[in-house]
Amino acid sequence: MTTADTDINDAHREKMAKIKAVKDRIYASKTKEKGLLIVHTGTGKGKSTAAFGLVMRTLGHGLKVGVVQFVKGRRETGERQILEKFPDLVTVKVMGEGFTWETQDRERDIAAAKAAWDEAVAMMAAPDLHLLLLDELNIVLRKDYLSIDNVVDGLLAKRADLHVVVTGRNAKPELIEAADLVTEMTLVKHPFRDGVKAQLGIEF
């Protein structure tokens, strides 16, 4: 090792020691435990996938999870197969009847959204749930199939230690305002444009 290398390494060590001191101080100041209202929105990929990651992480701790799927897609076979391995910990309700352009029936879509929200409210009342995923709730809110005021009131009335994750593009401002943690997934580059189809393990 040359003298220059030694200098670089020493400078690095000193800088990192300072950073560690700051980080430790910050972590020590974070003491609150709180059930979070989390929103994943934006037009990019990963909104539902990251929520599903939180679901799996929670299951890894042996804690209970509820999932209400507001829009039934065609692509959740991989997720469903994993969730079925944890029948004692997971309750899944698929309430939507397909994409709006598949059902082509607005009345039925509204009825399905209302039934799904009723399920969500019932799950929020369960005393032992650690995480509740309201998948694609933003989609039905954007279409005004559910009252945003009603939904935000319901979410704010949740048990203090329950985490709720809401996904879907175009989250309404009222929901973002009410949320604790909001992440926007932004599309930088997408292979779909190049004729690549939806693939096993990636999209479904």
Site string for a copy of itself, 55-84 (x = CB under 8 A): -xxxxxxxx-------------xxxxxx--
State yes or no: residue 25 binds a copy of itself (CB under 8 A).
Answer: no
For the beta carbon of residue 184, count every other beta carbon within 10 angstroms: 14
> Containing H/E element for 91?
strand 90-94
State yes or no: residue 170 binds a copy of itself (CB under 8 A).
Answer: no
Site string for a copy of itself, 146-165 (x = CB under 8 A): -----------------x--
Per-residue tokens: 106: 């607005």
Burial class (CB in 10 A: 0-12, 13-18, 19+), 133: buried
- Positive or negative, the Cα torsion across 47, 50, 56, 61? negative
State yes or no: residue 2 binds a copy of itself (CB under 8 A).
Answer: no
Between 68 and 83, name the residue whose CB sits nearer to a copy of itself. Answer: 83
State yes or no: residue 88 binds a copy of itself (CB under 8 A).
Answer: no
Per-residue tokens: 113: 């959204």
State yes or no: residue 118 binds a copy of itself (CB under 8 A).
Answer: no
State yes or no: residue 127 binds a copy of itself (CB under 8 A).
Answer: no
